[in-house]
Chain A
């Protein structure tokens, strides 16, 4: 597995988590990722991922009018399947990060 594939899996989990906190749209998700320190992620790379997540039935989309007027904006929300996947991701992540942490501590 290449490092970009690992990052993709992690990024998908993070997007699930962001969307799980409330309906949101692409640019806002990116801002939240950046605010958490994900500056290595190219902004546009979330869209192919979002397309796949929608295809897999993890997220649903609705078009809504932007409050300031202008064109419609696409909002994402989690489907029940997406919430399930988020739970699984959290479990997997805590197992992985726990093991990596303990290994690195021993090395240090």
Chain B
């Protein structure tokens, strides 16, 4: 399975989640190879999948955008990363990965199980992956803020 074949359903799922839950319209840019261009973020929601494809899918945000997303989801102003923001970003990762699963089943009969989401915090943190595996990311723009969908997936065993 080519990772590029999996990317589009994830991209469409990100756009659908942001449109439906947040009334935001993120603009997707061209996918990048993460091993050639390291990505940093302040908060990452990551979720493991296992099945026809196996690996992780992550949504990665700068601090300000994560707070804006949590504010929209909770209906209250949030200015600092706290447990509510962490929970919101975990839920975004969950919805994006679940939504992509629905599209992948329809398009390619690819299915997987989702793990419980994990949230990683730290200013400008990076993610590390095993060597020899392809990791791709799609940058998205909302107003002047950028966030990333990052996927590291291979054929299931």
Q: Do A and B bind each other?
A: no
- Footprint of A on B, CB under 8 Å? none
- Footprint of B on A, CB under 8 Å? none
